[in-house]
Each structure stands twice: as C-alpha cells, then as structure tokens.
Amino acid sequence: MAAAILVLAVVAGALVLIFRDQSPSPSAALGNPATPTATPATGLPTTVSTHGISVTLQLVDSTSSATRFHVSIKLPKYAVEQPHDFILGQAPATNVQLAGMNAESSQLQAFDFSTSSVSDDLQLQYPAPFPANRTVTLTIDQLWLPDKPPSPLASPTDWNTFTPTPVHMHAVDGPWTLRVTPDMVATQPLPTYQSDWYCEDDAVSPAPKVDCYPPMGRPLAERLVNFRIIEPNPLVPPLSRDPFTVGVDRFGAPRSNPPNYVNLTYWTSQKSPQQEVQLVETTNPAAVPNVNGDSASITTPLTAGGPPQTLAILPGSVATTVIQRVSVTQFDVGGGQFPTRYYVWTQAGIGSYLAYTVEPPSSKPLLSGAEMRQLVTSIIQQRAGRATPGPTPLASP
C-alpha cells in the first residue's frame, strides 16, 4: 500500500481530506516527458508544455532587492474546479530550481493568487534583482494535481455529522523549464487594470469608478504612470516596506490616460504596536486633501465617482511650513480613534501626502514630528533634483 500524507482543508465551502500519494509518479501514463514543447522565447508571456500541462510565465517584476515571477499553470480537464492542495507541493523550494540569479533555489517564497477554476496563478519570489546581463532559468520539476473524484463534492449541511470528502493528490513529473533574458523583461507588456470585482469593496456603495492594478514593485509602477515615483531616502528607523506592495490606480481620468495615483505603505517594526505611514503621489488634484477651515476633502480610490470624503481636522492642529520653497500643510484627524497626522504638498504638478496613523490609539507614537518632516524633506529634495536617491530600505522578502 502506497504511503500518503493527509491534509484537512476547506475548499469552496466544502470540507475535504487531501491525500498526497507518495507512490511513484504516474506521469508516464500522461505522455512522453522527454520532449517538452515551448513557444519561441522571443518575449513575455512565454509558455512551456509537458504532458499536456501548460506553464506560462506572464510577468517578471523586479526591484533593487527582489524579483517576482508571475506564473500561470493551466490545469488539465480532470483537475478543473476540483479542490487541491498547493500545486507546487509541500516544499516548493525543493521543487523549483533557479539558475542565473544571485539567489538560491532554497530562498524561494511561493504565493498562490488563483482566482480561476481552470488555472493556478502563482508568484515565485527570490531575494535578488533580475540580472542585467544574464539569462535566468526557472525549472519546475514536479506538479501536484488532484485525482478526479468518484462523485461530486458535497457542501456540509450539519458540521456534526458531515464526513469530509477525500481528495487524492498525485505527482506529475516535468520538467517545465522557462528561460528569461533581460531583453524579454525590458520589453514585456505592462500590467493591465483588473476587472471591476477586483476594485470593489463590499463596504462601499455605489461601487467606485476606478481602474486598479495588482500590487507591484516600484520600477514596474513607474513604467505605468507618467511621473517619477519618489520615496523617502533614507527611511527613518523603524520603517520598512515590502518590495511588491505599490498600489497603482486610475480615477478621475479617461482610460486612454496612464494611471495617475500610486500608494505606498511603510510599517514600523513587527513588534507591537505596529504603526503605518502611507505615501500617496498623484497627478489627480482631487486625490490630495484640500484643507478648508476645520475640515479637509479628499477623493480616494474607494470614493472615486462619488462625493469626496470629509476629514474632520482637530482644532488647532493645522500648521504650514515651507521646505525648499514648497509649502507643506500639516494637520491631525481622528482624535481618540486611529489618530492620523497628514503632511500635504504639491510640487512640479505632483500632489503628495504622508499620513502617519497610530494604531491602536492608546499606543505611543514611534515616529517623532522631526522624523516625519525628515521624510517629507527627503521627497521634496529629490523631486527638486537637490539630492541623489539611493536604494530604499525594504523589508526582507
């Protein structure tokens, strides 16, 4: 009897028992593995097929500290809409081989962002930039796929008496080998905005009129927007940022225009309490706070197409200072509930603001006013060309 690993999971509302079959791979029954087929590697996306299973490299997102490969795996018909465990297995770093980058295969971080029942959409991340002068090879040795269930999956009606449906996983041997050149990355198509459901928030009605893009690294985001994205440099301790969390949106402008709004979030250290600093840069004037007496109005991606959001300013908190000939307005909102301090300015046609939120409200602020002004000054000096930016300190990927 073949050994198996048992995993209990909830998939699409149904409780399932997932068995990982440890017996030899049945891939020989699926076709001849000796001759994988590939599309000509002239650009991205690029696809390779083995045993009739297609693996497509859709996008390469690279920053100064890390690279993410966006990979889509088209499921065979028997696996479509079937629950399954992670398709790269329980130890993806031993199942995916990397060559040509200053990173080890064992450093892989794998994420599943699947929204389709016919494919698995993965992001494979390594802690090194994509090289400027070398071909990178990414090889998937094995995939784990579900066997076809003997009967349709049942959703539980009574958790006390429900018996989980067994789902058996089997290994399919590859390899699926993707070779990527620097030219392919430099000329790859840019990301497109997502479908309406991706942008919607159930708590917002009516739905905002916004085109939103998946989170990405700053270099890729800069290729999308029509302005230079400037981050504070250096970041004051203890702030850091994940390299692939730049939010990009377009609202208040026709779709023929480039995206016009970027949002970056910096976090304090993982020690409690964790606090955040949000940076927004935009060419949409309505997307930066407009102070009028004891309130400020602002349009965000969640309120686009509707009335602007009103921020109640705490009495006596408004102050204006001039940094490098740029007027910066500072004010506080929130009071006892999620107090936030804003720094707002416009420079060279780019509206910017930093918003520092202390959460929970009873926490002691980890950043001083002088440190926040240091961040503002750094951005203003860089946009004026009076400072040379270096690499932004990022969180370890």
> Of 186, 205, 239, which closes a domain?
186
- Judgement on whether residues 223 and 298 belong to the same structural domain of the protein: yes
Q: Which residues of 240-266 are buried (b: 16+ CB within 10 A; e: fewer)?
A: bbbbbbbbbbbbbeeeeeebbbbbbbb
CA distance 261 to 263: 7
What lies within 8 Å, CB to CB, of 220 at 6+ separation is 61, 62, 190, 191, 246
pLDDT, greater one: 358 or 217: 217
Total structural domains in the chain?
Answer: 2
- Judgement on whether residues 319 and 182 belong to the same structural domain of the protein: no
- Judgement on whether residues 238 and 322 belong to the same structural domain of the protein: yes
Average pLDDT over every residue of 202-222: 84
- Judgement on whether residues 170 and 130 belong to the same structural domain of the protein: yes
Task: Dump pLDDT digits (tens) for 298-348.
Answer: 999 988 888 899 999 999 999 999 999 999 999 999 866 778 999 999 999
> Of 143, 167, 186, which closes a domain?
186
User: Around Cβ 152, how many Cβ atoms within 10 Å?
Assistant: 7
Which of 46-60, 93-107, 151-165, 230-244 has the least mean pLDDT?
151-165
Residue 394 lies in a domain: no
Residue 10 lies in a domain: yes
Residue 392 lies in a domain: no
Residue 227 lies in a domain: yes
- The type of residue at 47 is T
> Of 168, 186, 204, which closes a domain?
186
CATH value at residue 153: 2.60.40.1630
pLDDT score at 237 = 85
CA distance 97 to 93: 8
- Judgement on whether residues 12 and 131 belong to the same structural domain of the protein: yes
- Under the banding of pLDDT at 50, 70 and 90, the label for residue 8 is very low
- Judgement on whether residues 162 and 222 belong to the same structural domain of the protein: no
pLDDT, greater one: 397 or 208: 208
Whole-number Cα distances in Å, 57 to 38, 179, 235, 295, 337: 11, 9, 33, 48, 45
- The per-residue DSSP string of 3-22 comes to -EEEEEEEETTEEEEEEEE-
Supply the range of the domain harboring residue 324. 196-383
Residue 319 lies in a domain: yes
- Judgement on whether residues 245 and 148 belong to the same structural domain of the protein: no
- Judgement on whether residues 35 and 121 belong to the same structural domain of the protein: yes
Residue 142 lies in a domain: yes
- Judgement on whether residues 157 and 238 belong to the same structural domain of the protein: no
- Judgement on whether residues 210 and 323 belong to the same structural domain of the protein: yes
CA distance 168 to 143: 14
Residue 210 lies in a domain: yes
CB 355 within 8 A of CB 340: yes
Q: Specify the 3-state DSSP secondary structure of 186.
A: helix
Average pLDDT over every residue of 191-195: 82
Residue 271 lies in a domain: yes
CA distance 274 to 271: 6
- Judgement on whether residues 132 and 246 belong to the same structural domain of the protein: no
Average pLDDT over every residue of 201-217: 79
Task: Dump pLDDT digits (tens) for 47-102.
Answer: 999 988 999 999 999 999 999 999 999 988 888 877 777 899 989 999 999 999 99
- Judgement on whether residues 233 and 308 belong to the same structural domain of the protein: yes
Average pLDDT over every residue of 280-294: 96
pTM over 0.95: no
Nearest Cα to Cα of residue 92 among 154, 26, 128, 142: 142
